[in-house]
Amino acid sequence: MSIPRWKRWLSYLVELELEHLRTDMHESLTVSLVRGRIQLFADRAIYSFEDLYSNFAEAFHRIDLSRLPGNRVLVLGLGLGSVIQLLEEQHDFQGDYTAIEQDEAIIYLARKYTIDTINRPITTITGDAEPFLLSYQGSSFDLVLLDIFQDDHIPEFFSTPTCLACIQRLLHPNGLLITNRLYRTPQDQVQTDQYVRHVFKTMFPHAAAMTVEGNRILFHDASYLKSS
C-alpha cells in the first residue's frame, strides 16, 4: 500500500492510525504510521516496525550472515514482515522465505501494507507453528527466526525443549536459530533468564544472548557473532 509522502512527514510529529482490527486471537491490532514507518501494535507489544524493529535489526548487525550455508529462511511469527525487510534492505540478503503466521488478519495486513515492498518471494502458511514444527519433513532451513507472541505472552509450546528439538531437526547443521524473548519487566527478566539457563543453554550449550530495548535476543550458536 502506497502511503502519501505528506503522511509520512506528519507521522514524525504525531502517530497516525491507519487501521484497527479485533480478531479471535487479538483483542486489538493497530497499524499506525510512526516516524515514517508502518508499525503493527497489539495491546502491549510491537509486532513490526520496519527498519525500527530494533531487536532484530541489532541482531542481524551482530552476526556474520555470510556464514549461513544457504538462503532458506523460516520465519515463525510474520507480523508485517519486518525481519524480512531488514534482511533484504539492510543486508542485501537474497532469502528464500517461508513464514508461518496463525492470525489470518495479520497476514491480511502484511499483504496490504508491506509485502509488496519485498522483492524476494515469500511462502506464507496460515496456521499454528506448533504442528508445523512437530510434523515438518522437508528440506532443512539455514536460518530460523522465532518471534512468536500473543500480545506480550509467548505460547507455552515455544518455551519448551520439544520446540527447540523440532527446530534443531529442521535446521541445517551449520545454520542459525535466533529467537526473541521479552526482557522488559522484572518478571520478564526472571522468566527469560530461567528459560535461557534451564532450557535454551541445555539444548544449545554454545548459545549467546544480547539485550535490546526490553527484549532478549538469543543465538543458538555464539560463533556466528562478529568479534567486537
Q: What integer pLDDT is reported at residue 228 of this predicted model?
A: 61
Q: Per-residue pLDDT tens for 46-63?
A: 888 888 788 999 999 999
pLDDT (average), residues 136-158: 91
Distance from the Cα of residue 106 to its chain's centroid? 13
Q: Which amino acid is at 193?
A: D
* Domains in the chain, number: 2
57: domain CATH number is 3.40.50.150
Question: Does 69 lie in the same domain as 153?
Answer: yes
pLDDT of residue 2: 77
**Closest CA relative to residue 83, chosen from 93, 18, 156:** 93
41: domain range? 5-46
Which three cell numbers mark 24?
479471535
Residues 61, 35 within the same domain? no
- Residue 70 sits in the same domain as residue 116: yes
Q: Residues 102, 127: one domain?
A: yes
CA distance 170 to 173: 9
On whether both 170 and 205 belong to a single domain, the answer is yes
Residues 28 and 108 grouped into a single domain: no
